[in-house]
Structure 1
Amino acid sequence: MATRQREEMNMAYNEALANRVRSYLTHHPSYQEKKMFGGLAMMLNGNMCCGVVGEELMARVGPDRYEDSLRVEYVRQMDFTGKPLRGMVYIAAAGVSKEDELAIWVGLSEAFALSLPPK
C-alpha cells in the first residue's frame, strides 16, 4: 500500500463533532479544511483555527491563552510530535459536549486565527 493511502486511512475523526465545528466557521469566505495531525483542521485566511482529531477538539488558542486553557477541565496540551505545541490544546469530548462549551473553544480559536496575517 502506498504511503499516502496509509496516511489517509489513519486520519480518523468524529464527523459529528466536525459538523458541529463547521456550523460556526463556514460563513467565513476564507474557510477551508485540510487533513493534518491525523484528523481534520479548519483553516481561516490560510491559518489553522481548530480541528478534530479522533474524538477530541483541537483548539489553537494562542500563546497568551495557553496556560489558562490548560487549567480547564478536560483540556490537555497538544503534543502531537512528542513535544508540546504552545498555543494549541486538545479538549476531550466531555469538554465540548454542550453547545456553549464548543462555542467558547471555537470562538477563541477563530479570534486567534483571524488575528494572524493571511497566508
Structure 2
Amino acid sequence: MAYDEGLAQMMRDDLEGIDGINEKKMFGGLCFLYRGHMVCGVHKGGGMFRPGKEREAEALAIAGAAPLSFTGRKMGGMIETTEEALADDAKRAKWIELSLTNAKNLPPKT
C-alpha cells in the first residue's frame, strides 16, 4: 500500500454524508473527489489538497503544508502536507473546507 490507510479513513470520515464525494486511486495514492473534481487525498508520506489558487496562500499558512510538486515543479492551487499535520483534526478540517469550497465553485464533470 502506497499510503496510510488510517489517514485515508480519517478523510473518509470527514467527508461522510457529503453528496457527490467519491474515491479514486491516482497520483500513487487515494483521492477524494467532489462531482469529479479533486478535493483531497493521501499518498506515501502525507496528504494533498486542492484549495485552488484563490485559497492557496491561506492553505499554505497552516503549519505542515507546502506547495505540491510531485514532479519537482509546483502545481498551482494544490498543496501537500506531512503525515503529522494531516493527522491533526483542526488542520485537516480547514484544508478540507478550503478544498471543498474550491470544488463546489467548479462546474460538475460529466
Give yes or no for TM over 0.5. yes
CA shift at 1:51, angstroms?
Answer: 0.4
Give the CA RMSD over aligned residues: 1.5
Residue identity in the other structure for 1:81: T
1:30–1:68 distance in 2 versus 1, CA, 3 Å: closer
Task: Tell me how far apart the structure 2 counterparts of residues 67 and 28 of structure 1 sit (CA, whole Å).
Answer: 25
Question: Identical aligned pairs, as a percentage?
Answer: 37
Residue identity in the other structure for 2:100: E
CA shift at 1:26, angstroms?
Answer: 2.9
Moved >6 Å (runs of 4+) = none
CA shift at 1:19, angstroms?
Answer: 0.5
Equivalent runs, 1:1-119 vs 2, <5 Å: 12-119=2-109
Q: Deviations over 1:20-51 (max 9, x none)?
A: 11112131232111111110110111111110
TM-score, scaled relative to structure 2? 0.89
Aligned residues: 109
Q: Deviations over 1:40-71 (max 9, x none)?
A: 11011111111001131201011012133333
Higher helix proportion (structure 1 or 2): 1
CA shift at 1:100, angstroms?
Answer: 1.6
1:117–1:111 distance in 2 versus 1, CA, 3 Å: same
Task: State the secondary structure of the residue aligned to 2:39.
Answer: strand
5+ long unaligned stretches in structure 2: none
Task: Tell me how far apart the structure 2 counterparts of residues 71 and 29 of structure 1 sit (CA, whole Å).
Answer: 29
